[in-house]
Structures are given as structure tokens and as C-alpha cells.
Amino acid sequence: MDLGLLSGQLPQLSWEQIESNAQAAFLGVALGDALGATTEFMTPHEIKSKYGVHKKMIGGGWLRLSPGEVTDDTEMSIHMARAVIDVDGWDLTSVADYFVKWMQKRPKDIGATCARGLRTYIHKGTTQMPYNEWDAGNGAVMRIVPVAIYTLGDQARLNAYATQQAHITHHHTLSDAACIAVGSMVQAAILGASIAQLRTLAEDLIRRHPKFSFEPYNGHSSAYVVDTIKTVFHHLFNSNDFESCLVGVVNQGGDADTTGAIAGMIAGPLYGGPAFPKAWCKRLDRDVSREVQHLAQMLVRRSPMAHRSTQPCT
Ligand code: MN
Ligand code: MN
């Protein structure tokens, strides 16, 4: 996976536009998570008979959430971002400490692989789980947005940090590949890539790991990272606005909050914050909304791109 595939083809965005797109990526995670949590673990058929088409920020779901409440996908992303801002740098121990701090607050939901990795960190102090063929869940890629924003403009750093943070809990080739691919797509979208250019990056992942091929789409939306990414790609590349992309993934059910979060982090900067449905933004937990936008701004101002930009806004 290489953003270099698009080198010289991306538009020249203003720094203000780049910052706004970074905020749209992080806000996209929260919106997709909150929308999708309602239909998590449901089948498309169950969703259809209960809601017709689920497209309102109404909470509920198996976690009995308030409207606009987010889950572990957004919470882990926020804690990783805080870790980077608070120590003003990339420190894996600090990231693991912030994840543990979050787990100790007894979140409503935490993935089994995440909990196991964090317990191992508590007991052994290791931030790198050994390779495990059962670690191909989506828990590492769902929280990739702070890494994508913080390493904006530096592919090598993105690849390194994406896999390091993944291995705190998940160590698997397909999870690593998904983290790097989605991180690259988020960066490209923040830098103004078109949907066709994002597709070039998706095709590159599929060339390296044919399991991610999403055509024909089989309709499976599980926590297996391959099913998750295929669901996101199918709806991302068969829709033409933020709302229909997110409505598409969350009505697929399964791991709907996570497919929502991942679709949101790519479609957010692709279509831009002004394209977000106002009703969703109004319903989204206000503290979360404020914090993700603040963190996105802090992260992008510390990115390699900020140092390179002609108008760094620090
Ligand atoms: Mn979740
Ligand atoms: Mn989930």
C-alpha cells in the first residue's frame, strides 16, 4: 500500500481545508459508530422488518445506547489521540496506558481480543502480542484514524505506527494490511483524493491480499477484518454521498458500528464536513463531537504535513 501511487495527482488544498478534512475523518468515526451501534449484530432482514431502512441517530441496539452515544471504536480512537497529544509524540507505552485507563472505566463494550491484549500488557508490560492466526478481527483498524491524521504526509511513519498500535492487541497479517490500507485511504481523502483515486488504493490492497476482493459482494458484515473491509468498500464505491455510504454499511448489520466507523473515517474527508447530515451532527454526543474535532486539529498540526505546509496554522 502506498500513497505514492497517487503522487503528483492530488490537488493542492489549503491548510484550512486539510484541517477541516482531518476533523471530518475523526467526526466520521463517531457518526458511523453512533449510527451503526443501533443495528450491531442484527441481520439485514431483522433491520428491514424493524426499521425499514435504518438512517436515524436513535441509539438503542444491544448496548441500549442513548441517541448519539458512541462505543469502543470511537473511545479507543480518542484515547490513542489523547496519548499522542499528552506526551507530544508517538510512545507505544503511553498508547497502551491510555487504552488501559479506558478499559478500567468499564466501557459498555470491549472486544475480546482487545481485552486480552490489554490484560497481557498489564501483567507483562509487553506492547506487542505474538503473531496469532485468530487475531484477524477488526479491532485494530477501527481505531486507526488518529494514526492516519498524526502521520499525514509520511507513508513510512504511517505503516510503522499503524502496525505498532495494532500489535498491542491484534497481530495478524490481514489486520496489519487493513490498518495500513485504511490509514492510507484516510490520508488520501484528507489530502483531496477523488473516489477513483481511493479506489486505486483499495485495488492495491486487493492485489496484495486477494481475500479483500469485494466484487461480487457476499453481504457478510462480521468482525472478521476481511468481511468488515469488503462491506466498507462495497458501500463506499457504490454510493456518491456521505449519508448513503453510511446508511448502506449500517443496514448490512453484523459489526455495523465498526463498519460505520471505518466507512465514516474515509467518506468523511472524501465528501467533507459540510456534507454531513445536520440531524446526525445534532444528535451526536456533544462532548464527543467537540473532543474529536479538537483532537483531529491537534494531531494534524503535529503531522509531517503541517511542517511542510506553506501556511502552518500553529
Ligand atoms: Mn463498537
Ligand atoms: Mn463493533
* Ligand 1 centroid to residue 15 C-alpha, Å: 32
pLDDT score, position 4: 80
Ligand nearest to the CA of 138: 2
Ligand nearest to the CA of 33: 1
* 11 Cα to the center of ligand 2, angstroms: 34
Q: Which residues surround ligand 2, an ion (CB under 5 A)?
A: 255, 257-258
- Class of CATH domain 13-308: mainly alpha
Cα of 211 from ligand 2 centre, angstroms = 21
Mean pLDDT of the chain: 96
SS3 of the chain: the string is CCHHHHCCCCCCCCHHHHHHHHHHHHHHHHHHHHHHHHHCCCCHHHHHHHHCCCCCCCCECCCCECCCCCCHHHHHHHHHHHHHHHHCCCCHHHHHHHHHHHHHCCCCCCCHHHHHHHHHHHHHCCCCCCCCCCCCECCCHHHCHHHHHHCCCCHHHHHHHHHHHHHCCCCCHHHHHHHHHHHHHHHHHHCCCCHHHHHHHHHHHHHHCHHHCCCCCCCCCCCEHHHHHHHHHHHHCCCCCHHHHHHHHHCCCCCHHHHHHHHHHHHHHHHCHHHCCHHHHHHCCHHHHHHHHHHHHHHHHCCHHHHHCCCCCC
Task: Report CA(33)–ligand 1 centroid distance (Å).
Answer: 7
Tell me what pLDDT residue 289 has.
Answer: 98
Q: Starting from the CA of residue 223, give the closest ligand.
A: 2
- Kindly report whether the global pTM for this prediction surpasses the value 0.75: yes
Per-residue pLDDT at 7 exceeds 60 = yes
Cα(123) to centroid of ligand 2, in Å? Answer: 26
Give the start-to-end residue ranges of the domains of the chain.
Answer: 13-308
Could you tell me the sign of the dihedral formed by the alpha carbons of 13, 14, 18, 20, in that order? negative
Cα 184 to middle of ligand 1, angstroms = 22
pLDDT class for 314, splitting at 50, 70, 90?
A: very low
Average pLDDT over residues 212-232: 98
Distance from Cα 70 to the centre of ligand 1, integer Å:
8
> Distance, CA 253 to ligand 1 centroid (Å)?
13
* Cα 59 to ligand 1 centroid, rounded to whole Å: 12
Yes or no: say if 294 and 286 are a contact pair by the CB < 8 Å rule.
Answer: no
CA of 201 to the centre of ligand 2 (A): 24
pLDDT digits (tens, 9 = 90+) for 256-273: 999 999 999 999 999 999
Ligand lying closest to the C-alpha of residue 63 = 1
Give residue 311's pLDDT band: very low, low, confident or very high (50, 70, 90): low
CA of 11 to the centre of ligand 1 (A): 34
User: 171 C-alpha vs ligand 1 centroid, how far in Å?
Assistant: 19
Cα-to-centroid distance, 261 and ligand 1 (Å): 9
CA of 37 from ligand 1 middle (Å) equals 7
